[in-house]
Amino acid sequence: MEEQNLGRILVIDDNEDVLFSAKMLLRRHAKEVVMEKNPKKIPFLLSNEDFDLILLDMNFSQDITSGQEGFYWLKEILKYDPSAVVVMITAFGDVEMAVRALKEGATDFVLKPWQNEKLVATLSAAARLRNSYREVSQLKEVNRTLSTQLNTGRNIIQGESQAVRQLFTIIDKVARTDADILLLGENGTGKEVIARTIHERSSRADKVFVTVDMGAITESLFESELFGHKKGAFTDAKEDRVGRIEAANGGTLFLDEIGNLSPAMQAKLLTVLQRREVIRVGTNRPIPVNVRLICATNMPLKEMVQRGEFRQDLLYRINTVELHLPPLRERLEDIPLFADHFLQEYALKYKQPVKRLGESALARLRRYGWPGNVRELQHALERASIMSDNRELQSEDFFFLSEEGPAAAPAVTAQTLDLDDLEREAVQRALQKHDGNISKAAKELGLSRGALYRRLEKYEL
């Protein structure tokens, strides 16, 4: 049997002999040949199946010679899928009709009775065109998917502490492999930065790095966001869309806050990871994917497995290598390095002279507990660099940091009616209740993640 290189072909003709002949010829070259006598079934077929090529008769029983029925169904096919590759066939063709077919969107035109070699050659050329359409479409969708990430500010993970040196020793070992990695650590410890570092040191460094915040994806949009969808798959699906997993094909896929997935979403993700293929919503065609998977969470997944909140088989799938990121309070000796980096960054951002830490400021930063880790340090340095008029930052420039730990909130009593105080206390309690998990705290407060982040910044939490 010859190589199947034409994909799935739909042949539409009201002549059973023509359908039989086409199937006998094309089954040696195609993955599947679907035959249909009734053109009125075209909308149903296109709604439920994907075809790489469509071979369409121009003349049916209601209209023997003019080709008008064929032109009508050509328009209907292109309405449903503007990139469809349609080859028209007729026993009554002429140059004028061929030109019109091409002008109205047909890819090519063949006459009955056809020459087998010529028909196969015509369809092979059409298949190459279809592949080109798909590649262009996929590149556009990948660019669209990645465009929101290209302007994301880059951070750093650096330091001279023993904890960081040990971390980078492990990173150097695993980065060159394709092993799936699970990053564990508190919020703000730089899990995404570590994931990017692993990607940049891997053999996939010249490919894409796609991040997905699993805590921000609702269950109703989970499949569409991760697996993609076909135009018309649901009400708002106005065009084909590449999912995040498909967009990461060949590169690295970073799934942040994976501990927030519901059991149903865990099952769907596990199926994709096991099969290494995705099926877009609204289709039944599997698309192979080759990604390097890095996941991250601040949640105790092993304890969640014991409580039945996280699938054990999914945990085994994602943690071939497990990395623990140390909190900033365990690597206080790295604060000067971070400070130098961030203060230079803010000098450029705000067009001001580069500031540095004075001894009193550094001593205060080392006494602080840093519950928000590097992210909190970054925000503290930004605020101090903006508010201070001095080139050297002193302890008083960080007055908003309590030396006993996080900035203390005003006591909320029955007599306290200040709305800011009440809101600050509610935010703190929600974060404490959910061990710092932003998504769960936001849900508890009835806020979006973005709204909660704005309040954290407002109250310096």
In sequence order, what E strands does 234-393 have? Answer: 241-242, 252-256, 277-279, 286-288, 292-297, 321-324, 356-357, 392-393
Q: Which fold has domain 8-133?
A: Rossmann fold (3.40.50)
Q: Which fold has domain 419-458?
A: Arc Repressor Mutant, subunit A (1.10.10)
Burial label, 334 (beta-carbon count in 10 A; 0-12, 13-18, 19+) = buried
Any idea of the CA torsion for 272, 278, 282, 284, to the nearest 10 degrees? -100
Question: Would the CATH topology of 8-133 be identical to that of 162-326?
Answer: yes
Condensed to tens digits (0 to 9), the pLDDT of residues 336-372 reads: 999 999 999 999 999 999 999 999 999 999 999 999 9
Provide the H-helix boundaries in 207-280.
222-227, 244-247, 263-275
Strand order in the sheet with 252-256: 209-213, 252-256, 292-297, 181-184, 321-324
Phi, psi of 432 (to 5 degrees): -65, -40
Phi, psi of 234 (to 5 degrees): -155, 180
CA angle 193, 195, 201 (to 5 degrees): 100
Name the packing angle between helices 419-433 and 449-458 (round to 10°).
120
Burial label, 411 (beta-carbon count in 10 A; 0-12, 13-18, 19+) = exposed
Q: Are 413 and 380 in contact (CB under 8 A)?
A: no
The CATH number of 329-398, from 2.40.10.10, 3.90.226.10, 1.10.8.60, 3.10.20.30, is 1.10.8.60
Question: How is the chain split into domains, by residue range?
Answer: 8-133, 162-326, 329-398, 419-458
Which of 206, 238, 190, 211 is closest to 337 using CA atoms? Answer: 190
Query: Using CA atoms, how far apart are residues 238 and 215, in angstroms rounded to an integer?
Result: 25
Q: What is the pLDDT of residue 359?
A: 93
User: Which residues are within 8 A (CB) of 190 and not within 5 positions of it... i.e. 6 or more apart?
Assistant: 155, 156, 157, 325, 373, 374
Using DSSP, state whether 416 is helix, strand or coil.
Answer: coil
Q: What is the pLDDT of residue 259?
A: 93
Q: What is the pLDDT of residue 409?
A: 41
Going from the C-alpha of 258 to that of each of 199, 255, 263, 276, 299, the distances in angstroms are 19, 6, 11, 18, 9
Return the sign of the alpha-carbon dihedral for residues 110, 111, 112, 113: negative
Q: What is the pLDDT of residue 427?
A: 83
Condensed to tens digits (0 to 9), the pLDDT of residues 94-119 reads: 667 767 878 888 888 888 888 888 88
The CATH number of 162-326, from 3.40.50.720, 3.40.50.300, 3.40.50.620, 1.10.3300.10, is 3.40.50.300
Query: Using CA atoms, how far apart are residues 300 and 185, in angstroms rounded to an integer?
Result: 10
Using DSSP, state whether 105 is helix, strand or coil.
Answer: coil
Q: Are 30 and 3 in contact (CB under 8 A)?
A: no
Query: Using CA atoms, how far apart are residues 216 and 222, in angstroms rounded to an integer?
Result: 10
Q: What is the pLDDT of residue 110?
A: 83
Amino acid, res. 61: S
Q: What is the pLDDT of residue 153?
A: 42
Q: How many CA atoms lie within 13 A of 313 on its CB side?
A: 10
Which of 214, 219, 364, 227 is closest to 296 using CA atoms? Answer: 214
Q: Are 74 and 85 in contact (CB under 8 A)?
A: no
Q: Which residues of the chain have pLDDT under 70?
A: 1-4, 61-67, 92-95, 98, 136-158, 402-420, 435
Query: Using CA atoms, how far apart are residues 203 and 25, in angstroms rounded to an integer?
Result: 44
Bond preceding residue 327 cis, omega within 30 of 0: no
User: In which residue are the tokens 């008083």 written?
Assistant: 396
Going from the C-alpha of 246 to that of each of 222, 229, 237, the distances in angstroms are 14, 11, 17
Which of 300, 370, 377, 311 is closest to 338 using CA atoms? Answer: 377
Q: What is the pLDDT of residue 364?
A: 92
User: Which residues are within 8 A (CB) of 99 and not within 5 positions of it... i.e. 6 or more apart?
Assistant: none
CA angle 96, 100, 106 (to 5 degrees): 130
The H or E element spanning position 336 is helix 335-349
